[in-house]
Amino acid sequence: MPLQELFTHLPNVGHQTLFVLDFGSQYTQLIARRLRELKIYTEILPFHTSPEELRDRQAAGLILSGGPMSVGDDLAPRCQSGIFDLGVPVLGICYGMQLMTDMLGGVVEPAKEKEFGHAIVNLEAGSSLFENLADELRVWASHGDRIAKMPEGFHSIGMSVNAPIAAMEDQNRQFYGLLFHPEVVHTEQGSDILGHFASNICKCEGDWTMASFLHDAIIKIREQVGDGRVVCGLSGGVDSTVAALLISRAIGKQLTCIFVDNGLLRQDEARQIEDRFTRGELDLEILFENASERFLSELTGVLDPEEKRKRIGRTFIDVFEDVATRHGSYDFLAQGTLYPDVIESVSVIGPSAPIKSHHNVGGLPDRLNFELIEPLRALFKDEVRRLGEELGLDELFVWRQPFPGPGLAVRILGEVTEARLHILRETDAIVAQEIRRSGWYRRLWQSFAVLLPIQTVGVMGDERTYEHVIAIRAVESLDGMTADWARLPEELLAVTSSRIVNEVRGVNRVVYDISSKPPSTIEWE
């Protein structure tokens, strides 16, 4: 599927929509999140999105994101000039402000004193963007250029020590610029600024809720499916379960779910999933298929993490197709694809590389002649959780930590074998037990164990050992797009490490991962 389609074929929820044009900032997703928290439906689009598409999609306003380049760089991304002729409000943030300045006739130049990190901005009274805000804000800046001359029609509404024009506006055209990032938590009253742009300036009513999303999604699913049949790959996780329940709410028994046990699940997980979905509480028609041996055979001798993902994805499709074919014919394939899956699986800016491949985003073989249904494609993870609660799922299940599609295969560095899976399952179960017992589980985005491809010398009793190393990973995050390593209590780490070394045969050393995202990813592979 072309890049543009990946971003534009999202559910049209029928609400006023703000669009964020992405110029490559690490904070772009935070802009959309902050606005959605204010019940303003917001989508992220590539920077080169055409004015015609924005007009057709009835944009209520545009936000130009930050970016890592300077506007004078040869390869600096530029939006189409026609977006400034759409007659809708535009807010430029950092690089977005500099680009707006440059494209509308102003001057941007390297600053003598760069601003990275905290800065103090003094605000001018009278701007609807800063209504009821303090006169002085502590903000988060990240720029090496400054506005030397504003475009005609603009005037300054904020200044800092190193940036005489830290904020500007053209009230007649409703164009605004900020040389700092209101979307990050380090900026005081940053959400208020974004809210003022959406409500005061773009006149958005803030009517996007999970209840309204549920209502609109059911209507769209019914319109798309008609009297067709839908098959859904059910992993037992939150995303696929919520997707299946949503579709079931819309079309009932026209939906059939398939659960494939790939042998890469956590301890007792396949049995727990089968118990949950066969008790009847979810009222779904489900076919269960144990393909553990097939998956492990495909992974024999494979060391490269991307090759692991590809083989697991291909094998899943083959098994899924076999099961579906044995039980009739289907017109549609349902997937629990989320917005971060789309964003992380494609390149938005120039030649940049995708972070990871994802079996839910494009890539279906031609022989699977299904039309896709992806009702969660516009949602972030926490929004899916709220939708799950709206659909009646119990709180403990809804707030389960994310688990990767390829399962434990990407938490075993090196070859995946039954013996190494056994070690990791036992270890992961101990980590989960201690994290829950300590009360940290809901505070964490993810917490898990990783089996490393090295062995180290140890001493157990009077004997020398040469055994495996386990890394523990625990991060805090809102949506997985960025994450910080969790400062777990020393006592918790000590108890967990002691249990692993004493209870899991083959492990004699435990380490703790203190890397954040970026620069690291959450998963090791």
- For helices 381-390 and 238-251, what crossing angle results, to 10°? 40
186 is catalytic: no
Opening angle at CA 319, ends 452 and 264, nearest 5 = 20
Instruction: Indicate which residue of 43, 115, 169, 183 is catalytic.
Output: 183
Q: What CA dihedral angle connects 157, 161, 162 and 166, to 10 degrees? A: -10
The alpha carbons of the chain give a radius of gyration, in whole angstroms, of 25
The answer to whether 263 touches 296, Cβ cutoff 8 Å, is yes
118 is catalytic: no
d(CA 206, CA 209): 8
Residues 6 or more apart whose Cβ sits within 8 Å of residue 414: 303, 420, 453
Residue with tokens 């393909």: 291
Could you say which DSSP state residue 398 is in? Answer: H
183 is catalytic: yes
Instruction: Indicate which residue of 15, 43, 143, 181 is catalytic.
Output: 181
d(CA 487, CA 516): 11
Report the 10 Å Cβ neighbour count for 207: 13
E strand or H helix at 59: strand 59-64
Instruction: Indicate which residue of 94, 204, 232, 257 is catalytic.
Output: 94
Cis amide prior to 354 (ω within 30 degrees): no
The answer to whether 131 touches 181, Cβ cutoff 8 Å, is no
Long-range CB pairs of 463-470, under 8 A, 24+ apart, other chains included: 465/508, 466/508, 467/506, 467/507, 467/508, 467/509, 468/423, 468/506, 468/507, 468/508, 468/509, 469/507, 469/508, 469/509, 469/510, 469/511, 470/427, 470/500, 470/504, 470/507, 470/509, 470/510, 470/511
Greatest distance between any 2 Cα atoms in the chain: 81
HEC sequence for 192-260: HHHHHHHHHHCCCCCCCCHHHHHHHHHHHHHHHHCCCCEEEECCCCHHHHHHHHHHHHHHHHHEEEEEE
20 HSE (CA, 13 A, CB side): 29
Residue 386 phi/psi, 5-degree rounding, is -65, -35
Could you say which DSSP state residue 483 is in? Answer: B
Rounded alpha-carbon distances, angstroms, from residue 293 to 298, 342, 459: 9, 30, 35
The answer to whether 29 touches 71, Cβ cutoff 8 Å, is no
Residues 6 or more apart whose Cβ sits within 8 Å of residue 229: 254, 255, 256, 328, 329, 330, 331, 332
- Structure token pair of residue 17: 């929509």
d(CA 370, CA 142): 45
- Which residues are identified as catalytic? 94, 181, 183
